[in-house]
Structure 1
Amino acid sequence: MNANDPILEFMDVTITAAAREHAGLSHVSARFGPGTLTLIQVAPGNEQLPLADLATGLLCPAEGHVLFQGEAWTAMLPEQVLQRRAQIGRVFDGHGWISNLNVNENVTLAQRHHTRRPDAEILAEAEALARTFGLNELPKIRPALVAPRDLRRAEWIRGFLGCPLLVLLERPMQGVPLEHLRRLLGAVQEACARKATVLWLTDNDRIGRHPELPPAARYATRGLNLVKMENG
């Protein structure tokens, strides 16, 4: 890959909707380059957009290809898939926690599993991110015992931990007071500065109007299509 090649690319991607699982998409083509933020406005009733699952190779399109770092997920060997996914951070739209692990164990699991970083180094970074996002410390109790607004911010920690190349934010402000938005925007800005690409899916119009939102390409869902807006 060259320095300016897209980190993530959708090439004429079509996927059929699955009831109670995800919405459908039709012939979506888009490129997401290094150092960029893309804001995707999700229409009401279409919140379960499968872009993040497609971007990570968890779903295979019925037609077209999804490329990460220039290679289609479907063309990778299993060990390559694991290596590439270690470079992706995600804030899940739905439940993303293992219930029988404490929050701190959940947050650091991927870094401990996919990298050779010392545990102490991983935990120190996670604690620093916790303070960045307004938490006194990384919660060390079961997810079910943590207040929803704090649990959501713990997902932010997991999403940015390890300086991922691709950050997928699926309605990350859900359940979080808007007073914390500036903290998240700061992390997004830092990620873009180190040449990561960030995809932010939202159903909240106020996100796109925030004065501190970094420059962003803007897309919106129109039926089964993803349409780039003129001001994006």
Structure 2
Amino acid sequence: MASPDITAPTLQFEDVRSPGNQDQVDAGGFSLNLNPGDLALFFFESKYRIPEIANLATGMTQASRGDIHFMGKSWSGRNPQEVLASRREIGRVFAPRGGAAWLQNLDVDENVMLPQFFQPGVTKKEVQAQTMEMARRLGMDHLPSGRPSRTSTADLTRAQWVRALLPRPLRLLVLERPGYSVPPQQIEPFIEQVNLRRGEGTAVLWIDLPNEINHRSRLLPTCEFETLPEGLKGSF
């Protein structure tokens, strides 16, 4: 597999239109360059309609127009092995949507560690140690060890933080409502870790509801979108 282009923006949207608004012939496309260390903050209007931007950014959804590049190469131009390898360099917190973030036949701690077991040259003990160290940095004494269906929503959100911050290298963080159900004071360690990763070159997409974000001044976004741009207004 070809090496990523570290001179290119981490993430590029080029005249992109979400598949959810493909019938809106007058809708414009959306363009954005997200460079290492940048944070783009997007707000959307309804908790019942999750925008497609996170799936577009990670190559899970194909745009109806335009293209998305990650580390200098289009998602649509990658073979399946390249897609999987690239996604190992992306951390994501999924919006709450019926348990889609979890494999229900595994415990939460097993879910969190599972992606790291596919990293070449890393032992199970190393993954366990790295995971517990990250949990401690995020203010957690331990990870939940029960099934997702029996774990509180707040604990599931915080477990997602741990999973999202584990990849190395971590080139991109995609965060959908990352403070969902978590008391505001408990999100402070997560913001600290996000800012630390930005200092190391991680780019960040932060997608949230306006009334759920109580820590805006700490994020220091590179760019903000008070409403979703026209090209991204499709949702699922």
* Greater mean alpha carbon deviation, residues 113-122 or residues 191-200: 113-122
Aligned: 1:199 with 2:205: yes
Moved over 4 A (4+): 1-4
2:51–2:232 Cα contact (<8 Å) kept = no
Within-5 A mapping of 1:127-206: 127-163=132-168, 164-205=170-211
Cα separation, 2, equivalents of 1:148 and 1:123? 23
Aligned: 1:39 with 2:41: yes
| Counterpart in the other structure of 1:22 | none
Write out per-residue CA displacement over residues 92-142 of structure 1, whole angstroms, 9 at most, x where no aligned residue: 013301011011110011111243311111111111111122211122221
Gaps of 5+ in 2: 22-26
Aligned: 1:5 with 2:8: yes
Q: CA deviation at 1:222?
A: 4.5
Cα separation, 2, equivalents of 1:2 and 1:157? 27
| Cα separation, partners in 2 of 1:226 and 1:100, compared to 1, 3 Å | closer
2:90–2:167 Cα contact (<8 Å) kept = no
Cα separation, 2, equivalents of 1:42 and 1:129? 30
| Counterpart in the other structure of 2:93 | 91
When the two chains are superposed, the root-mean-square deviation of aligned CA atoms in Å is 2.2
* TM-score between the two structures when normalised by the length of structure 2: 0.85
Gaps of 5+ in 1: 19-24, 228-232
Within-5 A mapping of 1:39-118: 39-44=41-46, 47-93=49-95, 94=97, 95=99, 96-118=101-123
| Cα separation, partners in 2 of 1:90 and 1:209, compared to 1, 3 Å | closer
| Cα separation, partners in 2 of 1:199 and 1:214, compared to 1, 3 Å | same
Amino acid at match of 1:11: E
Cα separation, 2, equivalents of 1:152 and 1:208? 16
* TM-score between the two structures when normalised by the length of structure 1: 0.87
| Cα separation, partners in 2 of 1:45 and 1:146, compared to 1, 3 Å | closer
Q: CA deviation at 1:209?
A: 5.4
Cα separation, 2, equivalents of 1:15 and 1:225? 6
1:38–1:216 Cα contact (<8 Å) kept = yes
1:35–1:196 Cα contact (<8 Å) kept = yes
| Cα separation, partners in 2 of 1:46 and 1:63, compared to 1, 3 Å | farther
Amino acid at match of 2:200: R
| Cα separation, partners in 2 of 1:208 and 1:145, compared to 1, 3 Å | closer
Q: CA deviation at 1:144?
A: 1.7
Cα separation, 2, equivalents of 1:136 and 1:153? 12
Larger relative contact order (Cα-Cα within 8 Å, sequence gap ≥ 6): 2
Q: Which has the higher strand share?
A: 1
Cα separation, 2, equivalents of 1:12 and 1:147? 40
Q: CA deviation at 1:169?
A: 0.4
Cα separation, 1, equivalents of 2:125 and 2:215? 39
Within-5 A mapping of 1:216-227: 216-222=222-228, 224-225=230-231
Identical-residue share of aligned pairs (%):
31
